[in-house]
Structure 1
Amino acid sequence: MRLRLFLLILSLVLISAQSWSQGCVAIRHFSTCSPTYGQSNPSTRGDFQTGLNYRYFKSFRHFRGTEEEPDRVTNNTEVINHSHSFDYFLSYGITDRWQVAVTIPLVLNSRSSLYEHGRSERYSTFSRGMGDVTINTNYWLIDPFINSSFNLQAGFGVKLPTGSYNASDIFYNVGPNGSPETRPVDQSIQPGDGGFGLILQGQGYYVLNTRASIYAAGFYLFNPRNTNGIRTFRETLSPLLENEAIMSVTDQFSVQAGLSFVAGTHMSLQAGVRYEGIPVSDVIGKSEGFRRPGNVLSVEPGINYTVGNWNLMLSVPVAVRRERPQSLTDKEIEDETGNPRNGDAAFADYLINVGVSLRIPGKRITDI
């Protein structure tokens, strides 16, 4: 019973760590939004685990600071992003405590707006393709088969710039005499960011009794590259936006915690909170160029179903607080003009995250 409880809770903790991004213009998908330090962790040495996660959100509610601007929706001037992402992952248990994993993301994004198309007509731009691949390794500080009531895991990973960060589409009413023009799509729907990133991550759990436990997880993506050289064309909207003409390569973070409950032989439920976002400035390197810093606090219900070596998961983080803080370029413009400035960003109400995984047990020495 304790082993079954441990495996169910461990599976829930690992899978809950998979669905990182709540979904907003400020927070791009990272597979980021996933080195999948969670679901990709097998339980024993020699185990493989493979699976697919699907994530969807629609961002359309505009915030400036923590204040929503509902008139954007009323006046039909809101920016609408639809984001579909598919994360394929494969992991291997080097030992019972060391695991290594690789995640390959595929994205399909669309962005509908007025201001990017001459402000007179609404059009959509699209991006699709592979995102930024991540490779990571994780280590349980305590042997999980010696102590199944408490454990902590630390991990390190790299994000490779495999995704296109210059995906382009047709923008209307912006060329000479109002002609269409091919330009890079907005930063929020670029499949990649052009940066080589470093990832620090961790997670842990504590079993309260035979049915309930608490869990926590988090990560920080360090993106040392300053800007990626891709033009935003924001300076064509106003000469004041010259400092936002090139895309920034941003850090990203997420932390979460909650309670999991074993609801049956195969089912467990979760109730948690999640806080994630893009910081105003990076920890390593410069933070020039255009970025939309933002953060989201969400409540996250979820369900996890395990049958044999198969696992199904559904979680739906729902935003309860959204913030688009003043960026460095906002502050520069404010200092230059003497007028207050804080850019806006569009956020989603919720995120849908669905995952399926298969554990392929390895041959243990004791079995030979």
Structure 2
Amino acid sequence: MKTPKIVLLTFFLSASFLGMDSINAQGCVAIRHFSSCVGNTLESNLLGEGDIQIGSNYRYFKSFRHFRGTHEEPDRVSNETEVINHSHSWDFFLTYGITDRLYTSITIPTVINTRSSLYEHGREERNTTYSRGLADIRVGVGYWLFDLEKHQNGNLALGLGIKLPTGNFNASDIFYNVGPEGGPETRPVDQSIQPGDGGFGVTVDFQFYQKIADKLFAYGGGFYLINPRETNGTRTFRETLSPLLENEAIMAVPDQFSVRAGASYAISNTISTSLGARYEGVPVKDLIGGNEGFRRPGNVLSIDPGIAFVKNNFSLNLNVPFAVRRDRPQSVTDLETQELTGEPRAGDAAFADYLINVGVSYRFSNKKVKVAPELMGEFKS
């Protein structure tokens, strides 16, 4: 088989990224950690029959800048009332080439999250809650639409996957100054740092590449996570902040999405760079199922530079997307309360300035199939 020049896209979501003027509802990150079900590095889906790719992707962000709509509230940082989330996640994946065009993959994610806030601890002192452990496992298949040997300068792959509710969606910790007589009380941690969401999901994704010039390729792709389950039964305790938040007492199981596009260029036989844009988030309403329960819809547009090192069957890559536009639109519960009270309501949410994605992978080749260096190491989630 001739050397196919192919780019692979993997998609995320980060964080469960993401209350209202008069009721002082608080924000948190809007986009949870997530990626598509078929691979964590660009070259993972370019496999010969019987090839195996294993690897891991690490992702970190700190969310702390509060937004209502696209308007930032800088006073939250200056007066030290901001909510601060630190999110660490590791995706461990294995991809297998069923044929030269058909592949399957499993991703096992783990997370360690912290959340520092005032309002969750009686507004008297800042305290931190934690969560950690296995997140929601994903399994998927993908297929390149065109013969890889005959279409080395461009191709398109479609994928379908399943998200399993393996992560804890009722992780708990100690909250201070909110229990009986103002003492501590064990409660579920905020939705944004729950390891799982409690729902079976389906992902649909696509990825494409196109050669532009020698050593220069355009890439693109995205995924959408369909979560049919409406709520997962986990209590938020938001109704204890105000009776008007009764409709946000139980956590929702929201959809997520991500889209990426850009260009990659091979500097040498082992090093390539990329520059693109990504748009990702949690929608206000799901494609399938109801929209009740508490969610923080939000979306982020980022500029996404990256660099990759590839040597033989080993690859290492780094991407640091930084946000250029953040938006926390009105949620369904925001609009319900607005109609009930006749007063404007727009919830806030905290977003990160940037993400850090580091991926490493190794290929066990059944055949001698070499991948063009400029196509490898892209599309970290």
Please report the TM-score for the alignment, with normalisation by the length of structure 1: 0.94
The answer for the alignment partner of 2:272 in structure 1 is 268
The answer for the alignment partner of 2:192 in structure 1 is 188
- Report if aligned partners of 1:42, 1:49 keep a CA contact under 8 Å in 2: no
Following superposition, the deviation at residue 38 of structure 1 comes to 4.9
Pair 1:240-2:253 in alignment? no
Distance in 1 between residues matched to 2:258 and 2:124, nearest whole Å: 38
Distance in 2 between residues matched to 1:169 and 1:108, nearest whole Å: 13
Following superposition, the deviation at residue 147 of structure 1 comes to 1.3
> Aligned runs of 1:161-310 on 2, under 5 Å?
161-310=165-314
Count of matched residue pairs: 354
The answer for the alignment partner of 2:10 in structure 1 is 17
- Report if aligned partners of 2:11, 2:259 keep a CA contact under 8 Å in 1: no
* Residue in structure 2 matching 1:35, options 29, 37, 49: 37
Pair 1:139-2:143 in alignment? yes
Summarize deviations over 1:118-162 as a string: whole Å, max 9, x none.
001000000000000000000000121221101000000000000
The answer for the alignment partner of 1:95 in structure 2 is 99
Following superposition, the deviation at residue 363 of structure 1 comes to 4.9
Distance in 1 between residues matched to 2:40 and 2:223, nearest whole Å: 11
Distance in 1 between residues matched to 2:216 and 2:10, nearest whole Å: 18
4+ residue stretches of structure 1 with deviation over 6 A?
none
Cα 1:300–1:363 shift into 2, 3 Å: closer
Give the secondary-structure state (helix, strand or coil) at the position aligned to 2:99: coil
The answer for the alignment partner of 2:58 in structure 1 is 54
The answer for the alignment partner of 1:105 in structure 2 is 109
The answer for the alignment partner of 1:353 in structure 2 is 357
Distance in 1 between residues matched to 2:15 and 2:194, nearest whole Å: 17
* Residue in structure 2 matching 1:158, options 152, 159, 162: 162
Cα 1:244–1:237 shift into 2, 3 Å: same
- Report if aligned partners of 2:47, 2:96 keep a CA contact under 8 Å in 1: no
The answer for the alignment partner of 1:82 in structure 2 is 86
Distance in 2 between residues matched to 1:132 and 1:313, nearest whole Å: 24
* Residue in structure 2 matching 1:321, options 296, 321, 325: 325
Distance in 2 between residues matched to 1:20 and 1:37, nearest whole Å: 14
Cα 1:122–1:38 shift into 2, 3 Å: closer
Please report the TM-score for the alignment, with normalisation by the length of structure 2: 0.91
Summarize deviations over 1:169-196 as a string: whole Å, max 9, x none.
0000000111000000000000000000
Distance in 2 between residues matched to 1:245 and 1:107, nearest whole Å: 25
Q: Which amino acid aligns with 1:200?
A: V
Cα 1:295–1:161 shift into 2, 3 Å: same
Distance in 2 between residues matched to 1:178 and 1:312, nearest whole Å: 50
The answer for the alignment partner of 1:336 in structure 2 is 340
Q: Which amino acid aligns with 1:129?
A: G
Give the secondary-structure state (helix, strand or coil) at the position aligned to 2:45: coil
Distance in 1 between residues matched to 2:89 and 2:257, nearest whole Å: 18
Give the secondary-structure state (helix, strand or coil) at the position aligned to 1:46: coil
Cα 1:19–1:187 shift into 2, 3 Å: closer
Q: 5+ unaligned residues in a row in structure 1: which ranges?
A: none
Distance in 2 between residues matched to 1:294 and 1:111, nearest whole Å: 18
- Report if aligned partners of 2:212, 2:218 keep a CA contact under 8 Å in 1: yes
- Report if aligned partners of 1:214, 1:257 keep a CA contact under 8 Å in 2: yes
Distance in 2 between residues matched to 1:235 and 1:212, nearest whole Å: 54
Give the secondary-structure state (helix, strand or coil) at the position aligned to 1:295: strand
Distance in 2 between residues matched to 1:42 and 1:20, nearest whole Å: 23
Cα 1:321–1:88 shift into 2, 3 Å: same
- Report if aligned partners of 2:40, 2:57 keep a CA contact under 8 Å in 1: no
Summarize deviations over 1:242-273 as a string: whole Å, max 9, x none.
00000000000000100111111111110000
- Report if aligned partners of 1:22, 1:298 keep a CA contact under 8 Å in 2: no
Q: Which amino acid aligns with 2:195?
A: P
Percent identical pairs in the alignment equals 62
Following superposition, the deviation at residue 21 of structure 1 comes to 3.2
Distance in 2 between residues matched to 1:270 and 1:171, nearest whole Å: 44
Following superposition, the deviation at residue 22 of structure 1 comes to 7.8
